[in-house]
Chains A and B, each alone.
Chain A
Amino acid sequence: MMGIPAAVFVVVCLYYYVTQSVRVGAWQGGGSGPGLICGIAAGSVIVFEMLLWPRKLLRRLRLIPAKYWLAAHIWFGLASLPLAIAHCGFHLGGWLPATFMIFFVATIFSGIYGVAVQNLLPRWLLRNLPSETIYSQIDYVSDQAVRDAERLLVGACGRRANSDISIEDELSDQLAIRETVVVGAVRQAGKTSGRTLETRQMNRAKEDSVTLWNALDEIRPFLLHGKRELTPVTDTNEASAWFRRLRTACSEEGQEIIDILMSLCNQRRQFDIQARVHHWLHTWIPIHIALSIAVTGLLAAHVWTALKYW
């Protein structure tokens, strides 16, 4: 929607600049009338672009929906580059304008990169990471997953021998055993997928108690901290082999629990990938902002020197 006004804006400015340049037979510089108009237009756009920042900070105030701001930010930002080039008459000039232009181009390209990743990566996330959760909540969800696994084992195998049990633990054990186990699981049903709560009545697997508790001890660091921890399930291939061995060591009743432990490991693996993708999605923003601030500073310096030495 903002593409058309931005295109009209840049075409009008450039048309004026080009016709004036053709009339005098040379590309006009920044000090000329057409060049100055293009410069003022580009400078105004830079100031406008920076307004997105306070707009985002002042979310509570209804200062036009953010989608229009972002669209204008992108399209007018792109439009400002040809205007800036026209302003400098296709010359870099002294060190200040040259530095300014380099930073400006870098800012524009960091923004283009941002637009690209923000259009591509969400689709990739959607298709490849069904367990995706809120990035800031990964640690919490991982911690919850370990608690779920422990409840699952308490319900199916009972507490491990010689563990200290408080009254509260006893009560929760009774609940875990008597009732169903709630598992936050990824479900796929037809076109639907996502994390929903499932309740399951677990099989009793008393005879696998020691094996399964030991298994959980081994994978707990991975479930909590992901690939930073070296465990038998950190590597995907090794994990398959490890779970195969675990399956052979357990009875038929224990297989269902192993399925859930596997899905929890898979979920944690997806969280690791999500964290990486999240960085790709968002780490360009500080760079873009830093460059933008530098460009704004250089713009101010450029205006000041231009006015001083005109």
Chain B
Amino acid sequence: MSNVPSSSSEPSSSKVDFNVDGLVASQREDEGLFARDIDGQLIRVEKATATELEENVTLTIDGREVTVKKAQPTRDSQGNILRGEDGLPIPRPTTIYDAASEAFVRKPGDPHPIATLCHKEHLPPVGVCRVCVVEATEMTRRGPRSRLVPSCVQRVTNDMVVSTLRSEADPAAAARVKTASQTVIELLMADHLPENQTDAPGNELAAIAKSMGVAQSRFSPPPISRGQDDSSKMILVDHDQCILCGRCQRGCNWVKENKVIGRGEKGYATRISFDLDDPMGQSSCVSCGECAVSCPTGALQFQPSFIDTQLKRVRDDMIAGKKDGDIVGADELIKYPLFSGIPYKFLQFNGAAVVRRVLAKDDVLCREGEYGSTAFIILKGEFEIFLSSTRGAVRNKSVGGLRGLFGGLKTVVEKVGGKARLADVGAASLSEDQRILRNEEDVILGEMTCLNRYPRSATVVSTGEAEVLEIKRNVLHMLQRNAVSRDILDRVYRERSLRGQLSGLPIFNPLDDASKDKAAEFLKDKADLITVDPGQIIFRQGENADNYYVNRLGFVKVTQAYGRNERVLNYLGPGNGFGEIGLLSSMGNQFGSPVGTDSVAGVRTATCTALDHVELIRIRGEDFRELLETFPDLRNALATKAKEILSRDEEARGRLQAVEADEYLDQGLYLAQSLLVLDLERCTRCDECTKACADTHDGVTRLVRDGLRFDKFLVASSCRSCMDPYCLVGCPVDAIHRNGDSLEIEIEDYCIGCGLCAENCPYGNINMHGFPKQEVNESGKLVTVYEELDGGKLPVVQQRATTCDLCRSVDGKPSCVYACPHEAAFRMTGEQLLEMTKRTN
């Protein structure tokens, strides 16, 4: 019997209030530990409440006293806090495993006192393997009670005493735990660890057995074989090695939401199944690799031919791009403490994701303004960071002279004038005594562009001989799954986002340079960085004004309710400050004369909502007021600006929208840097643009001549080169990225066709197309793979993502525009389109 992965057996992120991390609510207290089967999992944990997020619990683990919160915010696999409909974090109980992590794992590479197989901290715990068993002693009315409990699902209580198998404080308890764990391991080994896997790298079962000193199982092997499945060209499935821990299931269904893996059969024959128990290669599996990366045994392994082909493609790419450095393999990487939390199979899967680079004095590691998809782990040496005073925006411009006359284009980095952009905030010049130097203590460099997908905010130059590991975005993505490395990244990111930027804040423009520095110094320890999710409300109209905000990244919509209508007052890009009106009005009459009816002392006059992923610099109200009192010029300038805004809003009240940009905002056009716009009055629907696109890209068009219309313009379905490209998030092999100083999104040949980028693009501008599959042959060359079908020989088709690359693969002149005979096709930013529609009306 087989079954489909039903909604009841999968933790789903859409049902966060119920089972997002598998810690399912249960109010009944007195049942046995394994008595209940809820949501397909044997677990017993009480529901956490919001108040428990603030309550402390003190317990002792292996003789070390630990104080943790009774509950923690539920996080997704990348560590982002999940929020309920009320916008508040969803609490989950703190488990013994969480507390032990907090107490014993301070930096990457620190050994965890509790071994786990079915649990990984980025996955919801299910407590099925029992390898993480510990002895927990709690006080009851009848005295102390000791039990062996699975630490991954057992919540902490006050005064609990926990002994792990490494406990030196209570050797007897440690021995009891060790016996229990060893028995579990032996049982698993007997059934699922063949002899050839005992030393296999990446086999966590073998590694744990070794660490516990279990060389051989006392139990006999299983009576039946569950078979193998080699139908997938990418992953080999050995059901006999599967311990049914469910990590692949959670990886597929919860992390990637592909919902392909379930369980089939029963008893000894129970195994994982794909769709309706189809062979993996014939199921709806998208080959994202998450299941194999998640698997702690040899049950799901990458096919060697796949690994070799990926390596070959990346090497070819490096040679073609004249990139220097040596590829660092999984076997070497796993020895670095920072990478110890990353599954071996992931490093194998991305065999060329890390490159060692050796730099000489004055070598440039990365340049400000360029797009990048890599970060640098500092192994040796020192680097100086330069923030220039003018940041660039990247645009396609006509070239001058005869070539320009004939439509020649070039991509240039130009200074941004008068527009609110990241560039304006990033501007900060440093004097000699403010030089920023980084060395191996700072761990990482260049991570910001990977995390926020905006251009690099600084130029980094080595001050002497140096060595770094250049890691791709997907490796950074994996580092974020681990709390310790995530904390490092988070701390570094916040610190660097604020440092050097405060004196460049646009609100300080009315001040002279000396005052700017003083104001920045004043805010140094007072401003903080907050992130806001798309759609989240930053503050509401009518609420008390508490903070001032400066938008660092992303876009914010300002709306105002008036009567029954809600109108969009403005949308604010990076560099804009907001929230000053409410704060100023609480400081007495700052406007000279009453303005409109909107302003009520200390109260918000509008609602601000994040349109996309927004990062804000927050200055608390009292600090803001103190700042204005210290710098009267600043106060006057802000008061004048606030007065202007209020007057404009008052005037605009007669109209429904102050900014006629409803659709513009809804469709995300504000993020677009290179829209393909067709003037429908000129376009004769000849499809030359589509044909040119197809001719340029091996017969596959990357644009569809249909889409939303703005006035007489059609925004064709073609990559928009968004400022914040969502498509870049989460690619398992980092095959999609943006590099250099150009806008285009590149999809490399080593794309595995999982379709995540296509799913992430909100505008449907990435498409999956079938291409003949290629593999490395014995002589190391890429050759097309064929299969016998109906007596014929046909190439195996592999899906690959395609998107508009602005014809970068040819010469950087978009073919669609070049081929339009009627001068109807244009490339422009969203803002330019809005301006054009306004002009034509």
Contact = CB atoms under 8 A, between A and B. Distances in A.
Interface of A: 56, 59-60, 62, 64-70, 118, 121-123, 125-126, 130, 133-137, 189-196, 278, 281-282
B811 interface: yes
B663 A192 contact: yes
B837 interface: yes
Contact of B407 (A59, A68, A137, A192): A68
Interface pairs A-B: 10 shortest CB-CB = A194-B709, A65-B407, A70-B821, A66-B821, A59-B692, A192-B663, A194-B708, A118-B684, A126-B680, A67-B823
B696 interface: yes
A62 B813 contact: yes
A125 B708 contact: no
B711 A191 contact: yes
B660 A190 contact: yes
Contacts of B682: 122
Contacts of A194: 707-710, 714
Given A190-B663, A278-B685, A282-B686, A64 B406 contact: yes
12 contacts: A60-B696, A62-B810, A62-B811, A65-B819, A67-B822, A68-B406, A70-B822, A118-B822, A189-B663, A190-B657, A190-B660, A190-B662
B411 to A, nearest CB: 16
Interface string B805-828: 000001101010111111100000
A75 to B, nearest CB: 13
A192 B680 CA distance: 13
Interface in B675-718: 680-688, 691-692, 695-696, 704-712, 714
B245 to A, nearest CB: 28
Contact of B706 (A64, A66, A134): A134
Contacts of A282: 684-686
A122 B696 contact: no
B51 interface: no
A59 B691 contact: yes
B709 A122 contact: no
A66 B680 contact: no
A125 B712 CA distance: 11
B841 interface: yes
A192 B710 contact: yes
Contacts of A70: 821-822
Contact of A133 (B680, B686, B706, B822): B706
Given A192-B709, A195-B706, 7 more contacts: A65-B406, A65-B817, A118-B684, A126-B681, A135-B685, A281-B684, A282-B685
Interface of B: 406-407, 657, 660, 662-663, 667, 680-688, 691-692, 695-696, 704-712, 714, 810-811, 813, 815, 817-823, 837, 841
A66 B681 contact: no
B707 A67 contact: no
A136 B686 CA distance: 11
Nearest to B667: A196
Nearest to A60: B695
B707 A125 contact: no
A196 B708 contact: yes
B660 A134 contact: no
B680 A122 contact: yes
Contacts of A278: 685
A67 B695 contact: no
B407 A67 contact: yes
Given A118-B684, A123-B681, A192-B663, A65 B709 contact: no
Given A60-B696, A133-B706, A65 B685 contact: no
B819 A66 contact: yes
B696 to A, nearest CB: 6
Nearest to A1: B405
A69 B820 CA distance: 10
Contacts of B683: 122
Nearest to B837: A191
Given A62-B811, A62-B813, A118-B822, A126 B663 contact: no
A191 B841 CA distance: 9
Contacts of B822: 67, 70, 118
A160 to B, nearest CB: 26
Contact of B688 (A62, A66, A130): A66
A67 B406 CA distance: 9
Given A65-B818, A281-B685, A59 B696 contact: yes
Given A60-B696, A125-B680, A190-B660, A67 B821 contact: yes
Contacts of B710: 191-192, 194
Contacts of A122: 680-685
A194 to B, nearest CB: 3
Nearest to A124: B681
A309 B203 CA distance: 92
Contacts of B680: 122, 125-126
Identify the interface centre among A65, A68, A133: most chain B CB within 10 Å of its CB: A65
Contacts of B841: 191
Given A62-B811, A123-B681, A192 B823 contact: no
Contacts of B691: 59
A196 B685 CA distance: 20
B688 A59 contact: yes
| A66, A68, A121, A126: most-surrounded residue (chain B CB, <10 A) | A66
Contacts of B811: 62
Contacts of A196: 667, 708
Contacts of A69: 821
A134 B819 contact: no
A190 B680 CA distance: 18
Contacts of A126: 680-681, 712
Contacts of A118: 684, 822
Contacts of B817: 65
A130 B810 CA distance: 35
Nearest to B656: A190
Contacts of B407: 64-65, 67-68
Nearest to A197: B764
A180 to B, nearest CB: 14
Contacts of A59: 688, 691-692, 695-696, 815, 819
A65 B811 CA distance: 14
B53 to A, nearest CB: 32
Contacts of B696: 59-60
A249 B683 CA distance: 44
Contacts of B686: 282
Contacts of B706: 133-134, 137, 195
A190 B660 CA distance: 8
B42 to A, nearest CB: 28
A194 B680 CA distance: 12
Of residues A69, A137, A196, which shows the largest number of chain B Cβ atoms within 10 Å of its Cβ?
A: A196
Contacts of B712: 126
A130 B682 CA distance: 16
